[in-house]
Amino acid sequence: MPQISAIIVADDRLLSGQRVSGGQMNDPFSQTPNRDDDEVTSESSAVAGNQDAIAGGGMTRRFKGKQIFAGFSLLVASGTLCVNAQINLIHQFGRFQPGDSMEADLLGAENRPDVLSRHLPPPDAEAENMRSTTLVVERGDTLQKMIRRGGASAAEAENAVTAIRAYFDPRKLQINQEISLTLESQQLPLAAAGYPHGATADNPPMRLSHLTIQTDVDRFVSVKRQQDGRFSAEEIITELLRRPTLAKGTINANLFTAARKAGASADTVVELIRLFSFDVDFQRDIRKGDAFEILFDQELDYNGEVARAGPIRYASLTLSGQRRELFRFQPPGDPDADYFDENGKTARKALMKTPIDGARLSSGFGPRKHPILGYTRMHKGTDFAAPRGTPIMAAGNGTIEIAGRNGGYGNYIRIRHNGQYKTAYAHLSKFASGIRTGARVRQGQTIGYVGSTGRSTGPHLHYEVHFNGKQVNSRTLKLPTGRSLQNSALVAFQQSREKIEQERIAMNGDPVQTADAK
């Protein structure tokens, strides 16, 4: 059986002589600890025999649950495997591990991001004349400050940041985000260079050559020094692959825990709750033994790793034996998709029943003994206990009538939705950005955060619904249904719904794409 030698350039070191039998590459980092979400992985197509072939792989980097892909190429000829890093992200992001590329055949060579290689210098030049550094964003950092810390001059840092602004706002840096810099030797004669800052002929002065910054799960910005000394920036975008996924299960403790156990992301579960929040009281309607089903797309990077979850395409809740279904559909001519029941009626109503996620109903509408004043009085709202800082959403579209301090209500917001309905939110810790009297808000928009301002014994949201000037019980209020699809739009919806139903039926028998929570 032929022996295959692997030569891997990584982290400015040359690793060679890793041997493979039967086409499986030994992992040069097999002694490293188990990786977590903040480690780098590299995957390549499996290679067997004495074939001539060209294949592709990639590497992934995550921060705060996000990833970025950077490609490299494999050349297999006459039993020798050479892994040649095409871009310096391999140097900058540290160790990687070879493995099987799950989606290489599915994506095809035409989709491989080999175009990235032209933005960066050849590996041999880096080894001799360049030094790569990866910096992690810390509290109080600015992009310009980090570039200076990496060894660039003040002028270089300023010019590089100016170039980056075409694609990324430097003010949006996140804690733990990584900035990767490469410095190059100036290679100037001693008399001309003067070798400042203690540099010598063996340690010449360095200048900024290029940098990369991850800006999303599928993109990064590359900045490169031009021959005239100026910096130019370019955004590199990699295509994510969509994989339909069905998560379903039975609720034992709560919906959030069960759906997460079934494989849905936290964002997907929050979206599920919001979809049904117009009709379902998540504090009282959910019972042990109720069931759920969610069909959504997982977006995968080139290695088959989940980069993020796409929107929900189908969702159902079976509560006390009654099944409620919602289908995602974009009516012809509409700019956005919406969710409709099986008859083509929108899930949206004028107001949401629950304007806060994950809260506990702590006090309902009606007479109660006031916890501070000590006597019984009418409680004209609904209280939701939640941790301080929990986001509060606008129950419907409307205009803010009041946003400010309001006596015992503390920080208070009141929204006018139409001629009949208003909603009020009290005891907020603070208002969301842009929330002020007269501002327009949309349904589901975050308007403030749970607190305990005013006459309050602990963090909670006091929520009121006003109908024709009077406070009413939001839990029993029957709101009119929204839009219903008609004519050709209804026909198109039914066709879309039938495709989703067929997909669900097929996936319910596929254990690979279906996860259950029991």
| SS3 call for 68 | strand
Q: What angle do CA 506, 496, 106 make, to 5 degrees?
A: 55
- Could you report the per-residue pLDDT of 261-302, keeping only the tens digit for each? 998 988 898 889 888 888 887 767 888 999 999 999 988 876
Q: Exposed, middle or buried by CB within 10 Å (0-12, 13-18, 19+), for 481?
A: middle
The CA distance from 218 to 302, in Å, is 10
Place of tokens 């809260």: 359
Q: pLDDT > 90: what percent of the chain?
A: 32
- The confidence score (pLDDT) of residue 45 equals 29
* Sign of the four-CA dihedral 488, 489, 494, 497: positive
Among 23-32, 73-82, 184-193, 462-471, name the most confident range.
462-471
Tens-place pLDDT, residues 368-401: 344 444 434 444 678 888 889 988 999 989 999 9
Token digits for 139?
């509290």
> Contact, 95 vs 209, CB < 8 A?
no
CA–CA dist 409, 329 (Å, integer): 41
Q: Decide: residue 19, CB within 10 A, 0-12 exposed, 13-18 middle, 19+ buried.
A: exposed
Residues near 373 by beta carbon (within 8 Å), at least 6 away in sequence: none
For residue 505, what are its two tokens?
């039926």
| Residues forming a β-bridge with 404 | 412
Q: Are strands 130-136 and 178-185 parallel, antiparallel or unpaired?
A: antiparallel
All structural domains of the chain: 4-113 (no CATH), 125-189+204-237 (3.10.450.350), 245-343+486-517 (3.10.450.350), 360-472 (2.70.70.10)
Amino acid, single-letter form, for residue 70: A
Residue 358's pLDDT band, with cuts at 50, 70 and 90, is low
Place of tokens 């919406």: 338
Q: β-pairing, 306-319 with 291-300?
A: antiparallel
SS3 state of residue 365: coil
**Predicted pLDDT of residue 477:** 73
Check pLDDT > 50 for residue 43: no
Model's pTM, two decimal places? 0.54
Q: Cα–Cα distance between 425 and 454 in angstroms, integer?
A: 12
Q: What is the mean pLDDT of the chain?
A: 72
Give the other-Cβ count within 10 Å of 223's Cβ: 26
Task: Say if residues 64 and 52 touch (Cβ distance below 8 Å).
Answer: no
Q: What is the pLDDT of residues 181-240, one digit of tens each?
A: 998 887 655 444 444 455 555 666 788 989 999 888 888 899 999 988 899 999 988 788
Strands 24-25, 178-185: pairing is unpaired
Q: Compute CA distances 463 → 150, 164, 354, 453, 475, whole Å.
A: 51, 44, 9, 14, 11
